[in-house]
Each structure stands twice: as structure tokens, then as C-alpha cells.
Structure 1
């Protein structure tokens, strides 16, 4: 090839790049004029017979342009390739919004949803334990059933408080007297006075008296000073509570009985920055050979949390004016 030919080819290649760059600075070439100009310059630069043809997408389903450009190389037996990759190199802005934003408060969830939502957006809620959370699908399918990608999402996983996590971790677990007494003393601030409605409801349901926080704290202190003592006797009294009588370790004299309430009320925020929930807690113990093991059971606590999430979902519906659903959205397209 002569110097003149080489220079001409080099100039043409430079012109191709300049044309593509200038097109990219304004828009991606989406019609025949821009694409054919690129192909024509490429032909001049290489001397190879390249052609642009347009393939109709009629009958291929929704979401496609009317036709797509193809590059045909006659020198290679009519090899066909697309121009998409070359065009995408010069895209200035993303093709569409996608990705999942993860927020840490319900307020942030609402504010971010309101920032990005459109008429087709929707909110889904997982209300069951474990893993309750809210997911907003910004580009959800439209109201007239037009499909969309569902790739732009906002997710709020409910963060559990340390206080409630401590109660969950020991729920139903057998504890020694020392460990149980220590746990009750540490968690005393989480206890609440029962309301008249709660007293009436749970007294009838469990046939036992509902204890006040002071009574539970007295139990914890009474147990802590009798850690090394054996249980001499344990009986259930008329109120539904239990009485424990301990033997003094060295003298074997019977001490004063300790009253064990059958139930008390827990009041803690289950989720960070959330409202407090109230959960009945049943006390249980097992005596064997003078030794005693303690346990407690959070009554229907999963249902209490579910109701808390459902209340939040109603608030989200009001604040965002979007449809809300219990469940999970379809997998991403």
C-alpha cells in the first residue's frame, strides 16, 4: 500500500472515531443515517465491502425497536455482526435505572421511594419471622400490564434491637439458677406494668396472676442469694403462681418461700427506631433432685412482630400512595 493510501486509510479511521464520538456526545445513533455513515467511513478506511442492513423485529415480542442494525462483511462470506457493542461504548447516561438501595430506617425507605417512584411502582412486605422487610420495586409492571424489568429496588430489612435480640436468643432455653437470676436482673428495665386489659385477658387465659416488674425483680434477687441451695419443696398456690422452698446449704433449715409468678409483661422496641411492642412472658422451671432449671417463653411473639410490620406497611401505603402487598416480588428479569 502506498503512503498516500495508508494516509487516506488513517484519516478515514480517525474520521470514524470522530463521527462516533460526536454522535455520542449528542445521542446514540438510533436511525439509518448515523449507522450507515459509520459503515461508509469504515468501508473507505479498510477497502472491505461492508454493508448495513436493518432487521425487522416484527413478531419477536414486546420491548424491541421496530428494526435493529446489522453489519454484513461480504469478504467473510456475509458474516453478520451487530453494532450494539460499538454504539454502547459511547453511551453518556445509563440505559435505565437498576440496582438495589439498602436503607436502615423506615423513614429513609419512604423518602427514597417517594424520590424515585412512578405510576407503576409497588411495595412488597415480608411480614414473617425471620427476616421481615420491605421491598419497593420502582420499575414494577405498569397498571395496564405492560412488562418492565423490575431491576430498580429499595430494600429495608428490619433491624432487630439488642434488647429484643437478647430475649429471643434465650427464649425457651434452659438456664441455671445463677444464669437466670443474672439475666432477669440485667433485663429488668425491659419489664412493664400490666394494663387492666392485659391482667384480665391473661389471668383468664393462663389461670395465673400477672406479675409487676418489682415482683419479677424481687424474684431475681431472691434467686441470686440462693444460688447454692437445693429446692426442698415446690407447690402451686391458688393464684396460679408457684412457691419454692429452699434448704439452707449447711444447716438444712427451710428458708422463706419464694413466690414465682406465672407471667409478666415485656415491653421493648423490637426494631431499631420502631415503636415498642408488648409481649407476655411465661415463666417455667423444672426441679430434679433438688436442682432447678429455669426457662421462659415469649407468648406468640412472632405474631406480635408480624402485626407491627403490618402497621408499618399501612403507614408506608399512606405516605407513598403506592399499592402494597404482603409477599415477595417476582425475580428480576
Structure 2
């Protein structure tokens, strides 16, 4: 009687090429969707793995996706002029200090395609920054400083001062340095609004320092912009131990910052021929 074969004793012979083809086909079926470089989408099906076009017939055409940040108005206008169209606009956001040309904005309401939305994916943005000079003075503004420190600051930055003349401000700063260690005695308001601060030395010799009611800086508000006249109001305070603290406050400079920002946006609008809107785009 013939001995029966157990399943473990049966040897199956398989074609390696067929096994490879089956594995590759299974891999294609497991991930059948293929995105083409032209923006179309295909799916690989088992009938000899032929590609079938299943792209959405209502899909939007391919478009530019680019967000460029520039450092000055000239670059903003040059870039916008290179890529603008009839639908491009400018949005100026003072809170963020940005002026942005939205190059693929929605079509005008007189266009045949209105109100179909556009992509709004291509933009160039001017990110304004305070100038180095303004940042340096703004850091000192609104605070009372020891007279020696403030006098040194005035001397180091006298080139930014328009009126009184820089030489006069240097002289004032040196007069203050000369009174360090002396005792503040009194202050007299002069007819022109200036103040005369009187100090007394150990030998009872009195020295007077006249400080102007205000002084004017000629510095740019924003990086890359032309200088502008900024008014500063001189401030002083008697401190303990016969010392005097000095400082200054801006006079209506915030109005000038807003006005100059609007001027930059308006100038960019004129250079590009694009309408400008003051505001911001909701996220």
C-alpha cells in the first residue's frame, strides 16, 4: 500500500518572476492615486496597471504661490510692476507696519468672472522697520536719566539734532557733565521758554546751565526713508541728593509716523497704478 504524503512533504514550485509581478501589482493597488507634474491626477487600476485620468474637471488652473518680503518701497513697486494685473491691489496695515501688493486678488466687480474668488497666493510685502536713528532716540524717550548719562547721549548723537545747532547741544551736554557732583539749587524759566538750572559747588560757586524748551531732530522714521523733522520736549526732574535727572518726550511724533506710513502707501500706489486700501486682511 502506497504511503500518503503529508502537506509538509509537498514541495511547491513557483516562478520568481510571477511572484515579483504580483508583489509590484499589489503595491500599486495599495497606493493607486498618482499626482502628475502637470497638476492632473491618475489612478492605477488592475487592468495591466493602466493610468486612468480622474482629475477634477472643475479644478482651478495651476497658479503662482509666492510670498516675497522686501525692505524698501522701491523694491515693492518694482516687484509689483513686474507681476501686477488688472485685479492687483495694495493693502497697508499700520498696526503691523506692512504694505502688501496682493498680485492675484479677486477680479474687479466689472469683470465677467466676478464674483468668482481668486487665489490670493502671490504677494509682495514691504515690512517697515524703524530706522536705526529713530530706534536709538526712541529708547531714551519718556524716561528720566542721570544727567551724566543723558549729557553723554546728547554729545554722541548730536549729529541727529537740527535745532538748536549740534554745537550748542554739545556745549549744553558738557555744561551738564561739569556740574556732576554739584548740588542743584533752583530753576528759572526764561522769557523764551527755556530753563536755567542753577548748581552750587562745595566752594559755594554757582553755575547755571540753560536748557532749551525743545529741540528738533532730523532723522528718518523708517529704514530707507528720507529724514523728517521730529520735535522733542526737554524734561528734567530734581532728584535726591541735589542731583538732576534729564530726558525728553516726543511731541506728536505718532501722528507723523502714521502720516509718513500713509505717504509710503500712497507713493507705492502712484508708482504701480494699483489702488491702495488702509486696513488688514482677515486671517
TM-score by length of 1: 0.68
Q: Equivalents in 2 of 1:245, 1:29: separation in Å?
A: 84
Match of 1:224 in 2: 177
Q: In 2 relative to 1, CA 54–272 (structure 1 residues): closer, same or farther, beyond 3 Å? A: closer
Q: Equivalents in 2 of 1:146, 1:100: separation in Å?
A: 22
Q: Which of residues 210, 233, 244 is equivalent to 1:282?
A: 233
Match of 1:166 in 2: 136
In the TM superposition, residue 173 of structure 1 has moved relative to its aligned partner by 1.0
Q: Equivalents in 2 of 1:327, 1:307: separation in Å?
A: 14
The root-mean-square deviation of aligned C-alpha atoms, in Å, is: 3.3
Q: Equivalents in 1 of 2:265, 2:182: separation in Å?
A: 51
The CA deviation string for residues 34-70 of structure 1, in whole angstroms up to 9 with x for no partner, is x5xx65xx23237xxx9x8989xxxxxxxx7449xxx
The CA deviation string for residues 238-264 of structure 1, in whole angstroms up to 9 with x for no partner, is 22111111111x312222x21111011
Higher relative contact order, chain-length normalized (CA < 8 Å, sep 6+): 2
Match of 1:244 in 2: 197
Match of 2:112 in 1: none
Runs of 4+ in 1 over 6 A off after TM superposition: 52-55
**5+ long unaligned stretches in structure 2:** 1-12, 110-114
For the pair 1:319 / 2:271, whether they are aligned, the reply is yes
Q: In 2 relative to 1, CA 53–298 (structure 1 residues): closer, same or farther, beyond 3 Å? A: closer
For the pair 1:106 / 2:118, whether they are aligned, the reply is no
**5+ long unaligned stretches in structure 1:** 56-63, 68-93, 194-210
Q: In 2 relative to 1, CA 5–220 (structure 1 residues): closer, same or farther, beyond 3 Å? A: closer
Q: In 2 relative to 1, CA 280–143 (structure 1 residues): closer, same or farther, beyond 3 Å? A: same
Q: In structure 2, the residue corresponding to 1:156 is in which secondary structure? A: strand
For the pair 1:269 / 2:281, whether they are aligned, the reply is no
8 Å Cα contact 2:40-2:53 kept in structure 1: no
